[in-house]
Structure 1
Amino acid sequence: MTAVEQTKVPTSHRFLDEAGDPTFFKKGRILAVGEPGVSLAFSLGMVKFNGDLQPIRAGIRRLQDEIAEDDYLNTIASVAKRVSGGGFYFHATDDSPEVRERMFRFIQSLDCSLEMVVARKIPALFAKKHHHKDSEFYADLLSHLIKNKLKLGQRLVLNIAARGVSTRNMNLELALSKAHERFRKKWSAGEIQSSVVFNVQTPRTEPLLCVADYLCWSVQRVFERGEMRHYEFIREKVSLAVDLYDTAKYEGSGNYYTRERPLTAQNKLSPLLP
């Protein structure tokens, strides 16, 4: 490809965040999945915005400033802590119901979509497939989100919420390598038309990550608690949710959920058997 041709390749941005946690064990190698503070699944989601990103960023920043300056909301401990720590930003897990409502209504107005991979925590699979490493678990999920984007013919910029070792360059490159492997199982290597660039950020530096955080949180609550309220409010934004290890529904892609086939309270995961 010549330099002139390269300049014609369109750039497309995606925004990624996780939900849940990758913890399997507590001290003494005792299984902790499903205990208070330890999720039943670990998930990774990717958001695409249609249209100019700058007005959306500006809108989120305005909303954050409003909350930081609101004398009813800025005394809430979670708000005050972030304000004093460098500036308020949205974080669904810690935000109060009043704060969440403002962000959810803003998200409802956006033209955006979420693709999410939900991985049930299966200890034997974590050992065999991910070698008991959180970073490999993360890389594997990320590869599933990347693989189908390699045919788009774009320079794909993945803006990823920082997560320690998991989002270090070496591990992100591992995810890309896994994505290429998965791609070649379905298509030929010559059909790979996209390049992928990783851009690790925080919600303070990239407000659009807050949208990914909220959407992922809403889907995760369905799987963890069977809670439908927030998911139903933003359901049209969830273009795809994959229950990656629901082997009982693999036939006919029954583990894939779309706008036409949405999640229900029956998608709530059961605790692991002892």
Structure 2
Amino acid sequence: MVDSKVQLASSSRIAHYFVDESGDGVLFNAKGQVLVGQPGGAMGHFIMGLLEADDPVALSLDLEQLRADLKADPYFKNVPSFQPERGKTAVAFHAKDDLPEVRREVFKLLLRHSVKFYAEVRDMRAVLSYVRERNGRNGTYRYHPNELYDSSVARLFKNRLHQYESCRVCYAVRGSSDRTKSFADSLVLARDRFAKQWDKQVTTAIEVTAAQPVQQAGLQAVDYMLWALQRHYARQESRFLEMVWDKVSLIHAVDETDKAPYGVYYSKTKPLVGAALKNKVGI
């Protein structure tokens, strides 16, 4: 039985992880019609992102100070997103809502901190193909976006949980439901997969908490990294990702399977430049 604290291996350091997603994983509308690729439909890619922060307290303090400085700047005085009642930049940084001038300052701040970004990228066309193929084999199978979310969490953490004596994982709340147990179960799956592959017991202590970005600055930081990566895929606009590439440790393009069935891993030694996800693999 697993609750919000999971007994999972090995270093003396405590890891601080912040997790969020970009895209909702929705394939069909209420009538069962496909949304992927349709005007106003689902985003082309679902991305699960993880930010590891060596000093989350310092990161939080710096982001709070930056927001205070920007709010005090007359340049932003009458900007709607800086009005507290709007619940946007005035209370928390959110790349989609923030002005370009604000984004630049947040990205510059992130570059000053010791953080590492990891991501699992799914092409929703490939996910749709997988779901259709599985439905062809099993007529009772019904896809749910939580399936994609949970499997992406498991992939994301497979090689992360054995490195520390203790890990504190904070994930961004999705909707109104509490999915902490499901999230923790995905970590157990990641642990078990690693243990099976390497025949190694993993005993790291894991603490899982859910929070709103306004409550955890680390979630605001991972949102910015996700926005930069999604911008690359959605608009082929890579300058934001290139700006913060020094903070990227690993991007797993799961469905880019031209050369290998497990996809492609992008890193500092293999930058992500103009990549297009193709083909398909199972969820």
TM class by shorter chain equals 0.7 to 0.9
Q: Look up the match of 1:163.
A: 174
SS of the aligned residue for 2:96 comes to coil
Residue from 26, 46, 52 that aligns with 1:48: 52
Residue from 214, 217, 227 that aligns with 1:204: 214
**1:36 partnered with 2:40:** yes
In the TM superposition, what is the alpha-carbon distance from 1:211 to its structure 2 partner? 1.0
Structure 1 CA distance for aligned equivalents of residues 97 and 152 of structure 2: 24
Residue from 236, 242, 249 that aligns with 2:246: 236
Question: In 2 relative to 1, CA 118–165 (structure 1 residues): closer, same or farther, beyond 3 Å?
Answer: farther
Q: Look up the match of 2:5.
A: none
Which is further off, 19-28 or 76-85? 76-85
Matches of residues 206-221 of structure 1 in structure 2 within 5 Å? Answer: 206-221=216-231
Q: Look up the match of 1:247.
A: 257
SS of the aligned residue for 2:36 comes to coil
Identity of aligned residues (%): 26
Structure 2 CA distance for aligned equivalents of residues 98 and 149 of structure 1: 34
Aligned residue-pair number: 261
Structure 2 CA distance for aligned equivalents of residues 218 and 250 of structure 1: 26
TM-score (norm. length: structure 2): 0.82
Question: In 2 relative to 1, CA 84–167 (structure 1 residues): closer, same or farther, beyond 3 Å?
Answer: closer
Structure 2 CA distance for aligned equivalents of residues 165 and 233 of structure 1: 34
Q: Look up the match of 2:82.
A: 79
Q: Look up the match of 1:3.
A: none
Q: Deviations over 1:62-87 (max 9, x none)?
A: 11122233332243333326655795
Matches of residues 133-148 of structure 1 in structure 2 within 5 Å? Answer: 133-148=144-159
In the TM superposition, what is the alpha-carbon distance from 1:21 to its structure 2 partner? 2.2
Structure 2 CA distance for aligned equivalents of residues 33 and 223 of structure 1: 15
Residue from 112, 125, 130 that aligns with 1:125: 130
In the TM superposition, what is the alpha-carbon distance from 1:99 to its structure 2 partner? 1.4
Structure 1 CA distance for aligned equivalents of residues 211 and 13 of structure 2: 22
Does the CA contact (< 8 Å) of 2:48 and 2:119 recur in 1?
A: yes
Which consecutive residues of structure 1, in runs of 5 or more, have no partner in the other structure?
1-5
SS of the aligned residue for 2:83 comes to helix
In the TM superposition, what is the alpha-carbon distance from 1:184 to its structure 2 partner? 3.5
Does the CA contact (< 8 Å) of 1:82 and 1:89 recur in 2?
A: no
In the TM superposition, what is the alpha-carbon distance from 1:126 to its structure 2 partner? 4.2
Report 1 or 2 for greater relative contact order, CA contacts < 8 Å, sequence distance ≥ 6.
2
Structure 2 CA distance for aligned equivalents of residues 60 and 36 of structure 1: 33
Which consecutive residues of structure 2, in runs of 5 or more, have no partner in the other structure?
1-8, 136-140
Does the CA contact (< 8 Å) of 1:219 and 1:231 recur in 2?
A: yes
Structure 1 CA distance for aligned equivalents of residues 259 and 264 of structure 2: 5
SS of the aligned residue for 1:249 comes to coil
Which is further off, 56-65 or 144-153? 144-153
SS of the aligned residue for 1:45 comes to strand
Does the CA contact (< 8 Å) of 1:19 and 1:220 recur in 2?
A: yes
- RMSD between aligned residues: 2.8
Q: Which has the higher helix share?
A: 1
